[in-house]
């Protein structure tokens, strides 16, 4: 047994992208949790993408994950990003205690998930089995609608959520303490700003609270240290959020 196999949280996600795994990395980092990013460990130590495939093929799991990210913890293999966050957040102190707040947090996280799916499909509107270049014309058409309709709709929604929190005197979306949803909104804002810089600059005045919330997340000591570390992968054009200038306004 290598060291990472004793880590209380073992994250399995593709090693070269932020992707959906990043929402989980941010939660573990903010909490200062001891975790292994398994597929980024050397193959000689049981890491690499091979480690992901081994779990996907493990016939003893019920149910198996369909795809990464998934997390091994407590002897369980938990899949689906929002499900993982919901499961670990209480232990990490990243969600308020009352059931009502937990249901609200998960509702917001699932709305983040919907938005991420739409943002991904901007560069892959036809099939994930095709390269971007093979669906660039359709991507361009979809992007026109995404930046004009969907992006303002979703960000406008989260801005309203942030405004109501502020009106109640809360510093964060779910209350006086930071939750995993705040971290996810930061990641959403980061990814969109990378992928659609012109659109996001133009939209800036309409989403002041989201911009300010993202800045405050980035300044949290553990998040700031993480973002400056080699553990934070750079955005790139194999990732969920991709910068293709022709898809931006």
- State CA 129 to chain mean position distance: 22
Return the residue of 2, 34, 157, 225 that touches a copy of itself, per CB under 8 A: 157
Q: Are 186 and 211 in contact (CB under 8 A)?
A: no
- State CA 177 to chain mean position distance: 19
Q: Does 100 bind a copy of itself (CB under 8 A)?
A: yes
Nearer to a copy of itself, 38 or 165 (CB): 165
**Whole-angstrom Cα distance, residue 166 to residue 175?**
9
Q: How many CB atoms sit inside 10 A of residue 219's CB?
A: 10
Q: Does 131 bind a copy of itself (CB under 8 A)?
A: no
Pairing, β 35-37 against β 9-12: parallel
Q: Does 149 bind a copy of itself (CB under 8 A)?
A: yes
Query: What is the phi/psi pair of residue 7, to 5°?
Result: -65, 140
CB of 87 to a copy of itself, least distance (A): 6
**Whole-angstrom Cα distance, residue 34 to residue 10?**
9
CB of 2 to a copy of itself, least distance (A): 26
Residues in 102-121 that interact with a copy of itself by CB under 8 A:
103-104, 106-108, 110-111, 113-114, 117, 121
Interface stretch with a copy of itself, choices 74-82, 198-206, 207-215, 234-242 (CB under 8 A): 74-82
Q: Are 161 and 210 in contact (CB under 8 A)?
A: no
Q: Does 66 bind a copy of itself (CB under 8 A)?
A: yes
3-state class (DSSP) for residue 75 = coil
Binding site for a copy of itself (CB under 8 A): 59, 62-66, 76, 78-80, 82-83, 86-87, 100, 103-104, 106-108, 110-111, 113-114, 117, 121, 125-127, 129-130, 138, 141-142, 145-146, 149, 154, 157, 160-161, 164-165, 168, 173
């Amino acid at each position: 047994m290598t060291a990472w196999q004793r880590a209380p949280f073992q994250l399995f996600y593709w090693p070269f992208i932020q992707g959906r795994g990043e929402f989980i990395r941010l939660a573990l980092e903010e909490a200062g949790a001891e975790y292994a990013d398994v597929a980024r460990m050397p193959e000689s130590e049981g890491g690499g993408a091979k480690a992901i495939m081994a779990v996907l093929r493990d016939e003893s799991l019920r149910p198996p994950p369909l795809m990464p990210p998934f997390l091994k913890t407590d002897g369980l293999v938990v899949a689906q990003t929002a499900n993982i966050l919901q499961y670990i957040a209480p232990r990490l102190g990243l969600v308020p205690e009352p059931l009502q707040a937990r249901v609200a947090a998960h509702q917001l996280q699932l709305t983040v998930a919907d938005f991420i799916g739409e943002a991904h499909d901007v560069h892959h509107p036809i099939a994930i089995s095709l390269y971007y270049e093979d669906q660039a014309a359709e991507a361009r058409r979809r992007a026109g609608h995404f930046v004009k309709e969907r992006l303002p709709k979703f960000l406008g929604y989260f801005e309203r959520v942030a405004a109501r929190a502020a009106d109640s005197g809360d510093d964060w979306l779910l209350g006086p303490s930071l939750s995993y949803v705040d971290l996810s909104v930061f990641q959403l804002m980061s990814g969109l700003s990378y992928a659609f810089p012109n659109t996001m600059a133009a939209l800036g005045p309409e989403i002041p609270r989201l911009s300010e919330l993202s800045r405050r997340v980035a300044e949290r000591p553990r998040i700031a240290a993480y973002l400056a570390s080699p553990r934070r992968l750079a955005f790139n054009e194999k990732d969920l959020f991709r910068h293709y200038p022709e898809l931006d306004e």
